Copies of this chain bind each other. A is one copy, B any other.
Amino acid sequence: MIGYAFMGKAHSNAWRNVASFFDVPVFEQKVLVGRDPAGVEEAAAKYGWAETATDWRTVLDRDDIDIVDICAPGWMHAEIAIAALAAGKHVLVEKPLANTLAEAEAMTAAAQAARARGVQSMIGFNYRRVPALALARELIAEGRLGTVRQVRAAYLQDWLADETAPMSWRLNKETAGSGALGDIASHAIDQVVFLLGDRVTEVSGRLHTFTTRRPGAAGMEDVTVDDAAWATLSLASGAVASVDVSRVATGQKNSLKLEIYGDKGAIRFDLENLNELHFLDATAPAREQGFRRILVGEPGHPYLKAWWPQGHIIGWEHTFTHEIRDLLTAIGTGTPPSPSFEDGLEVQRILNAIEESAAAKSSTIPLARTTASEGA
Could you tell me which A residues sit within 8 Å of B by CB distance? 6, 9-10, 12-13, 16-17, 19-20, 46-48, 135, 139, 145, 149-150, 152, 154, 157-159, 161-163, 204, 206, 208, 210, 228, 230, 232, 238, 240, 242, 244, 246, 248-255, 259, 261-266, 271-275, 278-282, 285-295, 297-298, 300-301, 308-318, 357, 360-364
Given contacts A19-B46, A20-B48, contact A251 B289 (CB under 8 A): yes
> Which residues of the other chain, B, contact A206 by a CB distance below 8 angstroms?
204, 232, 240
Shortest distance from the beta carbon of A225 to any chain B beta carbon, whole Å? 16
Most buried by B among A150, A210, A275, A281: A150
A311 lies within 8 A of B154 (CB): no
Residues of chain B lying within 8 A (CB to CB) of residue A263: 161-163, 248, 250
Starting from the known contacts A251-B265, A251-B266, A251-B282, 15 additional A-B residue pairs (CB-CB under 8 Å) come to: A16-B16, A16-B20, A206-B232, A230-B232, A248-B261, A254-B309, A254-B311, A254-B312, A272-B295, A273-B273, A280-B292, A289-B292, A313-B315, A315-B318, A357-B362
Q: How far is the CB of A62 from chain B (nearest CB, A)?
A: 25
Which single member of B261, B290, B308 contacts A10 (CB below 8 Å)? B308
- Chain B residues whose CB sits within 8 angstroms of the CB of A250 once the complex forms: 145, 261-266, 280, 282
A282 near B20 with CB under 8 A, answer no
| Cα–Cα, bound, A265→B9 (Å) | 32
Per the bound structure, the CA–CA distance linking A292 and B294 in Å amounts to 9
* Distance of A120 from chain B, by nearest CB (Å): 25
Task: Pick the most buried of A161, A265, A317, A318: most chain B CB atoms within 10 A of its CB.
Answer: A161
Select one of B154, B157, B210, B300 contacting A286, CB under 8 A: B300
8 contacts between A and B (CB under 8 A): A9-B20, A161-B261, A248-B261, A253-B311, A255-B311, A272-B295, A279-B290, A360-B363
Contact B254 A242 (CB under 8 A): no
Q: Is the CB of B312 within 8 A of A149?
A: no
A279 near B272: Cβ-Cβ < 8 Å: no
Give the CA-CA distance A297 to B162 in the complex, in Å: 18
Partner of A204, one of B162, B204, B266, B289: B204
Closest to A362 in B: B204
A13-B20, A242-B244, A316-B313 known; A294+B301 contact, CB < 8 A: no
- Determine which of B161, B255, B297, B310 lies in contact with A282 in the assembled complex, contact meaning CB atoms within 8 Å: B161
Asked if A295 contacts B16 (CB within 8 A), the reply is: no
Q: Say how far A181's CB is from chain B's closest CB, in angstroms.
A: 14
* Chain B residues with CB below 8 A from A157, complex form: 311
A361 to B204, Cβ gap below 8 A? yes
Across the interface, name the chain B residue whose C-beta is closest to A301. B287
The one of B17, B291, B295, B310 in contact with A293, judged by C-beta atoms closer than 8 angstroms, is B291
- What's the minimum C-beta distance from A357 to chain B, rounded to whole angstroms? 8
Least Cβ distance of A65 to chain B in Å? Answer: 22
* Shortest Cβ gap from A216 to chain B (Å): 20
Select A150's contact among B249, B262, B272, B281, beta carbons within 8 Å: B249
Contacts of A286 in B (CB 8 A): 298, 300
